[in-house]
Chain A
Amino acid sequence: MGQVTITVHLSGVGPLRDVVGKRPIELPAGATVAVLASLLGIRKDYKEVYLVNGRRRARSARLEQGDVVKVVSLLAGG
């Protein structure tokens, strides 16, 4: 039988540090970045992007067991 769930290591960065926290999260096997994003439900104006193992990934990208996911806001400033 294939794996039913996967665990990814999730953390928020910058203004999303407190919003997302730093924690493992269990997802259905085959879950995409979009599935994770919908679970997190981050307010739209953070304009967040997802870095999976250090590289920005599209919402359609599949997540794998053990992936390290950083949630980064594109809020501009400075």
Chain B
Amino acid sequence: MFANTGRIAKVDLTGGKVDDIHLSEEVYRAFMGGSGLAAKLFLDMADMSAGALSPEAPLIFMNGPLAGVRLSGASRMSAAARSPLTGAFADSSCGGYFAPALRHAGYDGMMITGKAERPSMLLISRGAVSIVDAGTLWGKGITETTAMVREAYGARARSLVIGPAGENLVPFACVMHEAHHAFGRCGLGAVMGSKHLKAIVMEPHTGAVSLADPSRMKELVKELTPRIKEYLMSQVLHDFGSPGNLEGHMYTGDVPIKNWTSNFSEEMAEALTGSTLSETYLTGTGTCAYCAVACKRIVKIDDGPFAIPEGPGPEYETVVSFGSLVGSADLAAACKAGRVCNDLGMDTISAGATIAWAMEAFEKGDLSAKDTDGAALEWGDMHTVIDTVLPAMAARSGKLGELLSLGSRAAAVKTGRGSIAYTVQSKGLEAPMHDPRGGGHGHALAYAVSPRGACHVATAMHFMETGACNYPEIGFEFNLEALTDEGKPETMVLSAALGAIENSACLCQYSDRSLSFIEIVELLNAATGFGYTAETLMEAGYRIFHLKRLINYLLGLRASDDSLTERMREPARDGEPAGIPIEFDSMLERFYALMDMDPEQGIARADKLESLGLGDEARLAWGK
């Protein structure tokens, strides 16, 4: 086999055993790698009745076929498990340096089950995985843990670690890599914590990556790298980071304010946008391996209440989650809140969105000081957020910490008083910081049908709807109006497959924006020799999308879970999109029809699954 090593470590933490899993080349071809291959492994290996935090629930890390190729954007990998936040199948993607390092160590991925008796870590050394005591690391924050790992195993060791939030099973705890990259969403850090697994540490390896057509790959990398670098979006990302167009998004109504009660603030637009960050606190940029874009921010705040030493800075999602969403225009506070979340190991989107919900509940009187241990949760009060709320959430301490550490959906269910109406989530996953009411109505559909819940990277809709990409080879050319449903279900069909391909090939959605679809096909073929065509690669994308939906069905989800909350469906109150309704129900109905999905069960019909090579899987849901 080319590109992939064909070797996946199988770790049983209960029994202290490590074996290898070998999958056939046909499985690799059909499910590509990353989130697609992880989904296939999950379906084949997992007990669907097992709770997300039970020992038998698998946690899977998986590379894509391009890991180790010196191409900008090819250094991401996926993690997958049942989410403790949503109960659904979850995958989460992370950039950085772990994916190529794992490939050089001779592995495509790891599947971890069981629960270690004592806090443990996995050590990948000399091409083998072993289980090592991690008692001295348990209880430590991400920054300290990462530093201790480097101290023990050398500066070139790579690590995936959890913080206190993961140890305490906060259902939106994340897994951090080098204290700057995250498997951010869906609570995979809690799954790791439930296994008493504090860290996965890898010593440097030098194993060769065997490609099917190395000379063609060399040509492609030489041709594509300058284009990726010179692409306008790459330049904006390089100069201003992922918040580079926050101000523009605010003017279109895409940026949520105060728990999605407003869509415009000129003050917040100017205060929080990427160029302001560059002019104030930016001291440098960071990258993933082989990246030509360098979107990551390094920041330092010298003085004031939110002073922080030089280190990782916030991405767009964090700036908005701890900026406009909670009613704050204080960029320093957003930087610090992001840093605190990184150290505690908590997803900034879910944390910020849950706090925003709680602030509105407090304003409405649905929560009172009795529910918050006396803390007043007021819009824009970042001192309380940083000093009181975030530490309580990660520790699950007091009434405040217990309630908000549940995430917004469960916290609203516990609170009652109709507060579920103004949560902003689908399937229990808090929506990212793009409001479809202003950003584009198709995005509402994407949030609802994304297998993992409200997500902007599981599909390519955000980029397709805003014109960041054209794929004429598969019938998509940008000509969409944002604030209408016209053409959106049809676009969502393509977007579902494209998103699955990106997350299974483990390509960065920034770097690959300037590539044509045929170039993506060529890259995968030069790596694997699988001989994909545009048609068969799209088919793989659909196969993976439908497989994840099928897993969700087996986990108990139905079409009724493809829902948006009342807040997400009501027309925007101000800004550019004020008063324009989203035709959500008709978009959803049309999407199901176009995808040949059963509108009640929420999965593809048996013959559709069969046509995608998922006959055996179809029988799990549909019987004979």
Partner of A72, one of B231, B251, B433: B251
Binds A, one of B10-18, B460-468, B534-542: B460-468
Interface residues of A in 40-55 (CB under 8 A from B): 43, 45-47, 49, 51, 54-55
Partner of B242, one of A16, A47, A74, A77: A77
Q: Point out residues on A near B: beta carbons under 8 Å.
A: 13-17, 43, 45-47, 49, 51, 54-56, 70, 72-78
> Please, how many angstroms separate the alpha-carbon atoms of A47 and B479 in the complex?
11
Query: Taking the nearest CB of chain A, how far is it from the CB of B105, in angstroms?
Result: 32
Q: Are B248 and A78 in contact (CB under 8 A)?
A: no
Partner of A75, one of B233, B273, B320, B434: B233
Q: Are B247 and A17 in contact (CB under 8 A)?
A: yes
Residues A70 and B251 in contact in the complex (CB < 8 Å), given A45-B232, A46-B232: yes
Partner of B275, one of A17, A46, A51, A75: A17
Q: Are B243 and A78 in contact (CB under 8 A)?
A: yes
Contacts of A77 in B (CB 8 A): 233, 236-237, 242-245, 316, 510
Smallest CB gap from B465: residue in A: A76
- The verdict on B572 contacting chain A, using a C-beta distance below 8 Å, is no
Task: Enumerate 15 A-B pairs (CB-CB under 8 Å) in ascending A order.
Answer: A14-B248, A17-B247, A45-B231, A45-B233, A51-B576, A54-B576, A72-B248, A74-B252, A75-B232, A75-B233, A76-B233, A77-B316, A78-B242, A78-B245, A78-B249
Residues A72 and B252 in contact in the complex (CB < 8 Å), given A15-B236, A17-B275: yes
Residues A78 and B433 in contact in the complex (CB < 8 Å), given A45-B232, A47-B467: yes
- The verdict on B246 contacting chain A, using a C-beta distance below 8 Å, is yes
Partner of B434, one of A17, A43, A45, A78: A78
Contacts of B172 in A (CB 8 A): none
Smallest CB gap from B469: residue in A: A76
> Please, how many angstroms separate the alpha-carbon atoms of A15 and B231 in the complex?
14
Smallest CB gap from A14: residue in B: B248
Closest 8 pairs (CB-CB, A-B): A78-B316, A14-B248, A14-B247, A76-B468, A76-B466, A78-B242, A14-B245, A47-B467
Smallest CB gap from B253: residue in A: A56
Residues A49 and B252 in contact in the complex (CB < 8 Å), given A55-B576, A76-B468, A77-B233: yes
Contacts of A43 in B (CB 8 A): 232
> Please, how many angstroms separate the alpha-carbon atoms of A15 and B510 in the complex?
16
Provide the B223-261 mask, 1 if CB < 8 A to any CB of A, else 0: 000000001110011001011111111011000000000
Residues A15 and B245 in contact in the complex (CB < 8 Å), given A55-B576, A75-B232: yes
Contacts of A15 in B (CB 8 A): 236, 240, 244-245, 248
Contacts of A13 in B (CB 8 A): 247-248, 251, 269
Contacts of B108 in A (CB 8 A): none
Contacts of B249 in A (CB 8 A): 14, 78
Q: Are B317 and A75 in contact (CB under 8 A)?
A: no
Q: Are A73 and B433 in contact (CB under 8 A)?
A: no
Query: Taking the nearest CB of chain A, how far is it from the CB of B288, in angstroms?
Result: 16
> Please, how many angstroms separate the alpha-carbon atoms of A15 and B483 in the complex?
22
Q: Are B232 and A56 in contact (CB under 8 A)?
A: no
Smallest CB gap from B318: residue in A: A78
- The verdict on B315 contacting chain A, using a C-beta distance below 8 Å, is yes
Q: Are B462 and A76 in contact (CB under 8 A)?
A: yes
Q: A14-B245, A76-B245 are in contact. List 4 more A-B contacts (CB 8 A).
A: A16-B248, A74-B467, A77-B233, A78-B249
> Please, how many angstroms separate the alpha-carbon atoms of A13 and B274 in the complex?
12
Q: Are A75 and B576 in contact (CB under 8 A)?
A: no
Which of B252, B482, B510 counts the most A-chain CB atoms under 10 A from its CB?
B252
Q: Are B251 and A75 in contact (CB under 8 A)?
A: no
Contacts of A78 in B (CB 8 A): 242-243, 245-246, 249, 315-317, 320, 433-434
> Please, how many angstroms separate the alpha-carbon atoms of A47 and B316 in the complex?
20
> Please, how many angstroms separate the alpha-carbon atoms of A56 and B315 in the complex?
27
Smallest CB gap from B320: residue in A: A78
Contacts of B251 in A (CB 8 A): 13-14, 51, 70, 72
Q: Are A75 and B252 in contact (CB under 8 A)?
A: no
Query: Taking the nearest CB of chain A, how far is it from the CB of B296, in angstroms?
Result: 13
Contacts of B315 in A (CB 8 A): 78
Smallest CB gap from B456: residue in A: A78
Query: Taking the nearest CB of chain A, how far is it from the CB of B623, in angstroms?
Result: 43
Contacts of B482 in A (CB 8 A): 74
Q: Are B232 and A14 in contact (CB under 8 A)?
A: no
Contacts of B246 in A (CB 8 A): 14, 78
Contacts of A75 in B (CB 8 A): 232-233, 236, 244-245, 248, 466, 468
Interface residues of B in 66-112 (CB under 8 A from A): none
Query: Taking the nearest CB of chain A, how far is it from the CB of B421, in angstroms?
Result: 27
Query: Taking the nearest CB of chain A, how far is it from the CB of B393, in angstroms?
Result: 23
Provide the B191-227 mask, 1 if CB < 8 A to any CB of A, else 0: 0000000000000000000000000000000000000
Smallest CB gap from B464: residue in A: A76
Q: Are B273 and A14 in contact (CB under 8 A)?
A: yes
Q: Are A74 and B248 in contact (CB under 8 A)?
A: yes
> Please, how many angstroms separate the alpha-carbon atoms of A56 and B572 in the complex?
15
Contacts of B317 in A (CB 8 A): 78
Smallest CB gap from B295: residue in A: A77
Interface residues of B in 443-467 (CB under 8 A from A): 462-463, 466-467
Contacts of A47 in B (CB 8 A): 466-468, 478
Q: Are B463 and A76 in contact (CB under 8 A)?
A: yes
Contacts of A14 in B (CB 8 A): 244-249, 251, 273-275
Provide the B296-315 mask, 1 if CB < 8 A to any CB of A, else 0: 00000000000000000001
> Please, how many angstroms separate the alpha-carbon atoms of A16 and B244 in the complex?
11
Query: Taking the nearest CB of chain B, how far is it from the CB of A59, in angstroms?
Result: 12
Contacts of B248 in A (CB 8 A): 13-16, 72-75
Query: Taking the nearest CB of chain B, how far is it from the CB of A38, in angstroms?
Result: 19
Provide the B113-131 mask, 1 if CB < 8 A to any CB of A, else 0: 0000000000000000000
Query: Taking the nearest CB of chain A, how far is it from the CB of B238, in angstroms?
Result: 11
Which of A54, A55, A73 counts the most B-chain CB atoms under 10 A from its CB?
A73
Contacts of B510 in A (CB 8 A): 77
Smallest CB gap from A75: residue in B: B245
> Please, how many angstroms separate the alpha-carbon atoms of A78 and B466 in the complex?
12
> Please, how many angstroms separate the alpha-carbon atoms of A39 and B185 in the complex?
45
Contacts of B243 in A (CB 8 A): 77-78
